[in-house]
Structure 1
Amino acid sequence: MTINDPKGLYSIKLESGKNVVYETPTGLWTKDDYKQYHSHYVEKIGPALKGKKWGMVAVMKDYKTSSLSDELNTHAAWLENNGCEKVAIVVDSSIVKMQMNRAGNNKKFEQQVFTDINEAESWLSSKGFSL
Protein backbone atom coordinates (compact mmCIF):
# COMPACT_ATOMS: atom_id res chain seq x y z
CA MET A 1 0.00 0.00 0.00
CA THR A 2 1.31 3.42 -0.94
CA ILE A 3 -0.38 6.66 0.09
CA ASN A 4 0.63 9.80 -1.78
CA ASP A 5 -0.50 13.23 -0.64
CA PRO A 6 -2.33 15.06 -3.46
CA LYS A 7 -0.15 18.14 -2.80
CA GLY A 8 3.04 16.08 -2.89
CA LEU A 9 3.85 16.72 0.77
CA TYR A 10 4.36 13.07 1.70
CA SER A 11 4.40 9.47 0.66
CA ILE A 12 3.68 6.61 3.08
CA LYS A 13 4.46 3.04 2.05
CA LEU A 14 3.74 -0.29 3.71
CA GLU A 15 4.49 -3.49 1.83
CA SER A 16 2.16 -6.41 2.41
CA GLY A 17 3.56 -8.82 5.00
CA LYS A 18 6.21 -6.38 6.22
CA ASN A 19 6.32 -4.55 9.53
CA VAL A 20 8.17 -1.41 8.45
CA VAL A 21 6.51 1.78 7.24
CA TYR A 22 8.47 4.09 4.94
CA GLU A 23 7.52 7.74 4.87
CA THR A 24 8.95 10.67 2.97
CA PRO A 25 7.67 14.06 4.11
CA THR A 26 8.67 17.12 2.05
CA GLY A 27 8.18 20.86 2.19
CA LEU A 28 6.52 23.10 4.73
CA TRP A 29 3.21 21.89 6.20
CA THR A 30 0.11 23.58 7.59
CA LYS A 31 -2.01 22.18 10.43
CA ASP A 32 -4.53 20.86 7.90
CA ASP A 33 -1.74 19.11 5.98
CA TYR A 34 -0.57 17.40 9.18
CA LYS A 35 -4.11 16.38 10.13
CA GLN A 36 -4.56 14.75 6.71
CA TYR A 37 -1.22 12.92 7.08
CA HIS A 38 -2.14 11.71 10.58
CA SER A 39 -5.57 10.53 9.38
CA HIS A 40 -3.86 8.23 6.85
CA TYR A 41 -2.04 6.52 9.70
CA VAL A 42 -5.19 6.19 11.78
CA GLU A 43 -7.48 5.06 8.95
CA LYS A 44 -5.14 3.00 6.76
CA ILE A 45 -1.75 2.15 8.25
CA GLY A 46 -2.99 1.17 11.73
CA PRO A 47 -5.66 -1.23 10.42
CA ALA A 48 -3.22 -2.73 7.89
CA LEU A 49 -0.71 -3.55 10.65
CA LYS A 50 -3.46 -5.22 12.74
CA GLY A 51 -1.83 -4.64 16.13
CA LYS A 52 1.64 -5.91 15.14
CA LYS A 53 4.78 -4.27 16.45
CA TRP A 54 6.37 -2.20 13.69
CA GLY A 55 9.18 0.16 12.79
CA MET A 56 9.47 3.19 10.56
CA VAL A 57 12.00 4.70 8.17
CA ALA A 58 11.36 8.44 7.86
CA VAL A 59 13.36 10.01 5.04
CA MET A 60 13.31 13.67 6.06
CA LYS A 61 15.87 15.12 3.66
CA ASP A 62 13.38 17.51 2.05
CA TYR A 63 11.10 18.21 5.04
CA LYS A 64 11.03 21.78 6.33
CA THR A 65 10.55 22.54 10.00
CA SER A 66 6.95 23.44 10.71
CA SER A 67 5.41 24.97 13.86
CA LEU A 68 3.10 22.06 14.55
CA SER A 69 4.01 21.00 18.09
CA ASP A 70 0.51 19.92 19.11
CA GLU A 71 0.01 17.94 15.91
CA LEU A 72 3.43 16.30 16.22
CA ASN A 73 2.70 15.30 19.83
CA THR A 74 -0.69 13.87 18.86
CA HIS A 75 0.88 11.80 16.10
CA ALA A 76 3.76 10.62 18.32
CA ALA A 77 1.24 9.51 20.97
CA TRP A 78 -0.70 7.60 18.30
CA LEU A 79 2.52 5.91 17.15
CA GLU A 80 3.35 4.94 20.73
CA ASN A 81 -0.11 3.49 21.32
CA ASN A 82 -0.34 1.63 18.02
CA GLY A 83 2.71 -0.62 17.94
CA CYS A 84 5.52 1.61 16.64
CA GLU A 85 8.68 0.54 18.48
CA LYS A 86 11.60 1.91 16.43
CA VAL A 87 11.98 4.93 14.15
CA ALA A 88 14.97 5.39 11.86
CA ILE A 89 15.18 8.99 10.65
CA VAL A 90 17.26 9.77 7.56
CA VAL A 91 18.51 13.36 7.19
CA ASP A 92 20.73 15.08 4.64
CA SER A 93 23.77 16.04 6.71
CA SER A 94 25.84 15.14 9.74
CA ILE A 95 25.02 18.55 11.25
CA VAL A 96 21.27 17.91 11.12
CA LYS A 97 21.89 14.40 12.47
CA MET A 98 23.83 15.84 15.40
CA GLN A 99 21.10 18.43 16.10
CA MET A 100 18.35 15.82 16.05
CA ASN A 101 20.29 13.45 18.30
CA ARG A 102 21.01 16.32 20.69
CA ALA A 103 17.30 17.19 20.82
CA GLY A 104 16.79 13.89 22.61
CA ASN A 105 14.07 11.32 22.52
CA ASN A 106 11.30 11.52 25.07
CA LYS A 107 9.04 9.08 23.23
CA LYS A 108 8.31 5.49 24.15
CA PHE A 109 9.67 4.29 20.84
CA GLU A 110 13.41 4.16 20.21
CA GLN A 111 14.67 6.62 17.63
CA GLN A 112 17.98 6.81 15.74
CA VAL A 113 19.11 9.38 13.18
CA PHE A 114 21.14 8.47 10.09
CA THR A 115 22.49 10.20 6.98
CA ASP A 116 22.25 7.01 4.88
CA ILE A 117 19.08 4.97 4.25
CA ASN A 118 21.06 1.71 4.08
CA GLU A 119 22.34 2.32 7.62
CA ALA A 120 18.80 3.08 8.77
CA GLU A 121 17.49 -0.13 7.24
CA SER A 122 20.38 -2.16 8.70
CA TRP A 123 19.61 -0.77 12.15
CA LEU A 124 15.91 -1.69 11.89
CA SER A 125 16.79 -5.12 10.54
CA SER A 126 19.15 -5.67 13.49
CA LYS A 127 16.20 -4.89 15.77
CA GLY A 128 14.13 -7.69 14.20
CA PHE A 129 12.07 -5.84 11.62
CA SER A 130 11.52 -7.37 8.18
CA LEU A 131 12.33 -5.05 5.29
Structure 2
Amino acid sequence: MVHVKDSKGLYEIKFDSTRRICYEKNSGFWRKEDIERYHDDYVKKVSHEFNGKPWAVCCDLRGYKTSNINEEMEKHTQWKVNSGMCCAAIIVSDTIVKMQLNKASGGKYPQMAFTSEQEADEWLRSKGF
Protein backbone atom coordinates (compact mmCIF):
# COMPACT_ATOMS: atom_id res chain seq x y z
CA MET A 1 0.00 0.00 0.00
CA VAL A 2 1.31 3.41 -0.99
CA HIS A 3 1.11 5.87 1.92
CA VAL A 4 1.80 9.60 1.54
CA LYS A 5 1.69 12.09 4.41
CA ASP A 6 1.74 15.82 3.77
CA SER A 7 4.77 17.64 5.18
CA LYS A 8 2.41 20.24 6.71
CA GLY A 9 -0.11 17.71 8.01
CA LEU A 10 -3.03 18.80 5.80
CA TYR A 11 -3.58 15.47 4.05
CA GLU A 12 -2.84 11.80 4.01
CA ILE A 13 -3.24 9.56 0.94
CA LYS A 14 -3.25 5.75 1.00
CA PHE A 15 -3.77 3.62 -2.09
CA ASP A 16 -5.05 0.08 -1.57
CA SER A 17 -3.91 -1.68 -4.76
CA THR A 18 -6.00 -4.78 -4.01
CA ARG A 19 -9.32 -2.93 -3.87
CA ARG A 20 -8.09 -0.08 -6.12
CA ILE A 21 -9.27 2.58 -3.68
CA CYS A 22 -7.41 5.76 -2.83
CA TYR A 23 -8.17 6.77 0.76
CA GLU A 24 -7.71 10.46 1.49
CA LYS A 25 -7.97 12.32 4.76
CA ASN A 26 -7.93 16.08 4.32
CA SER A 27 -7.92 18.62 7.14
CA GLY A 28 -7.51 22.28 7.88
CA PHE A 29 -7.73 25.34 5.68
CA TRP A 30 -5.86 25.00 2.35
CA ARG A 31 -4.09 27.61 0.28
CA LYS A 32 -3.11 27.37 -3.37
CA GLU A 33 0.36 25.98 -2.54
CA ASP A 34 -1.27 23.21 -0.47
CA ILE A 35 -3.46 21.93 -3.32
CA GLU A 36 -0.45 22.13 -5.63
CA ARG A 37 1.60 20.01 -3.22
CA TYR A 38 -1.31 17.56 -2.87
CA HIS A 39 -1.65 17.25 -6.65
CA ASP A 40 2.11 16.84 -7.03
CA ASP A 41 2.11 14.01 -4.46
CA TYR A 42 -0.71 12.28 -6.34
CA VAL A 43 1.13 12.54 -9.66
CA LYS A 44 4.60 11.58 -8.40
CA LYS A 45 3.88 9.14 -5.56
CA VAL A 46 0.46 7.57 -6.16
CA SER A 47 -0.52 7.56 -9.85
CA HIS A 48 1.95 4.84 -10.85
CA GLU A 49 -0.24 2.43 -8.84
CA PHE A 50 -3.27 2.98 -11.12
CA ASN A 51 -1.71 1.06 -14.03
CA GLY A 52 -4.36 2.38 -16.41
CA LYS A 53 -7.13 0.57 -14.50
CA PRO A 54 -10.27 2.12 -12.97
CA TRP A 55 -9.99 3.22 -9.35
CA ALA A 56 -12.12 4.90 -6.69
CA VAL A 57 -11.66 7.51 -3.98
CA CYS A 58 -12.82 7.45 -0.37
CA CYS A 59 -12.24 10.95 0.96
CA ASP A 60 -12.65 11.87 4.63
CA LEU A 61 -13.44 15.59 4.80
CA ARG A 62 -14.58 15.71 8.42
CA GLY A 63 -11.56 17.80 9.42
CA TYR A 64 -11.37 19.91 6.24
CA LYS A 65 -12.23 23.61 6.29
CA THR A 66 -13.81 25.24 3.25
CA SER A 67 -10.97 26.80 1.30
CA ASN A 68 -10.82 29.17 -1.64
CA ILE A 69 -9.15 26.73 -4.06
CA ASN A 70 -12.09 25.89 -6.33
CA GLU A 71 -10.27 26.33 -9.64
CA GLU A 72 -7.27 24.28 -8.52
CA MET A 73 -9.50 21.54 -7.07
CA GLU A 74 -11.47 21.36 -10.31
CA LYS A 75 -8.23 20.87 -12.29
CA HIS A 76 -7.08 18.17 -9.87
CA THR A 77 -10.45 16.41 -10.09
CA GLN A 78 -10.30 16.47 -13.89
CA TRP A 79 -6.80 14.95 -13.69
CA LYS A 80 -8.21 12.18 -11.45
CA VAL A 81 -10.98 11.43 -13.96
CA ASN A 82 -8.46 11.39 -16.82
CA SER A 83 -6.32 8.99 -14.73
CA GLY A 84 -9.17 6.47 -14.34
CA MET A 85 -11.04 7.56 -11.22
CA CYS A 86 -14.61 6.39 -11.72
CA CYS A 87 -16.39 7.11 -8.42
CA ALA A 88 -15.92 8.89 -5.10
CA ALA A 89 -17.27 8.33 -1.61
CA ILE A 90 -17.02 11.44 0.54
CA ILE A 91 -17.20 11.24 4.35
CA VAL A 92 -18.50 14.38 6.02
CA SER A 93 -19.29 15.40 9.59
CA ASP A 94 -23.01 16.04 9.45
CA THR A 95 -26.15 15.24 7.52
CA ILE A 96 -26.66 18.80 6.23
CA VAL A 97 -23.26 18.75 4.47
CA LYS A 98 -24.04 15.22 3.27
CA MET A 99 -27.31 16.37 1.71
CA GLN A 100 -25.68 19.42 0.11
CA LEU A 101 -22.87 17.35 -1.44
CA ASN A 102 -25.24 14.66 -2.71
CA LYS A 103 -27.47 17.31 -4.26
CA ALA A 104 -24.47 19.02 -5.87
CA SER A 105 -22.93 15.79 -7.18
CA GLY A 106 -23.64 14.35 -10.56
CA GLY A 107 -21.30 15.32 -13.28
CA LYS A 108 -18.15 13.68 -14.43
CA TYR A 109 -18.42 10.61 -12.14
CA PRO A 110 -20.71 9.08 -9.50
CA GLN A 111 -20.18 10.67 -6.09
CA MET A 112 -22.01 10.13 -2.81
CA ALA A 113 -21.53 11.68 0.62
CA PHE A 114 -21.77 9.68 3.84
CA THR A 115 -21.37 10.30 7.55
CA SER A 116 -19.46 7.07 8.32
CA GLU A 117 -16.65 4.96 6.89
CA GLN A 118 -18.94 1.91 6.93
CA GLU A 119 -21.57 3.56 4.71
CA ALA A 120 -18.88 4.76 2.31
CA ASP A 121 -17.27 1.31 2.18
CA GLU A 122 -20.61 -0.42 1.49
CA TRP A 123 -21.30 1.98 -1.38
CA LEU A 124 -17.82 1.47 -2.86
CA ARG A 125 -18.33 -2.31 -2.68
CA SER A 126 -21.63 -1.87 -4.53
CA LYS A 127 -19.63 -0.11 -7.26
CA GLY A 128 -17.21 -3.06 -7.53
CA PHE A 129 -14.39 -1.80 -5.29
TM-score range, shorter chain: over 0.9
Aligned to 1:83: 84
Aligned to 1:45: 46
d(CA) in 2 for partners of 1:45 and 1:28? 23
Aligned to 1:119: 119
* Matched residue type, 1:53: P
Matches of residues 20-39 of structure 1 in structure 2 within 5 Å? 20-39=21-40
Report the CA distance between 1:18 and its aligned residue. Answer: 3.0
d(CA) in 1 for partners of 2:39 and 2:93? 24
Name the TM-score, length of structure 2 as normaliser.
0.94
Report the CA distance between 1:126 and its aligned residue. Answer: 1.1
SS of the residue 1:61 aligns to: strand
Structure 2 residue runs without a partner (length 5+): none
d(CA) in 1 for partners of 2:60 and 2:7? 19
d(CA) in 2 for partners of 1:44 and 1:51? 15
d(CA) in 1 for partners of 2:103 and 2:126? 23
Q: Is the 8 A contact 2:25 2:61 kept in 1?
A: yes
Per-residue CA deviation, residues 9-28 of structure 1 (Å, 9 max, x unaligned), is: 00000134330000000000
State how many pairs are aligned.
Answer: 128
SS of the residue 1:34 aligns to: helix
Task: Give the 4+ runs in structure 1 shifted more than 3 A.
Answer: none
Q: Is the 8 A contact 2:105 2:111 kept in 1?
A: no
d(CA) in 1 for partners of 2:55 and 2:89? 12
Report the CA distance between 1:48 and its aligned residue. Answer: 1.2
Report whether the alignment pairs 1:67 with 2:68.
Answer: yes
d(CA) in 2 for partners of 1:103 and 1:115? 16
Structure 1 residue runs without a partner (length 5+): none
Name the TM-score, length of structure 1 as normaliser.
0.93
d(CA) in 1 for partners of 2:123 and 2:103? 19
Report whether the alignment pairs 1:109 with 2:99.
Answer: no
SS of the residue 2:4 aligns to: strand
d(CA) in 2 for partners of 1:104 and 1:15? 24
Report the CA distance between 1:93 and its aligned residue. Answer: 0.5
- RMSD of Structure 2 on Structure 1 (CA): 1.1
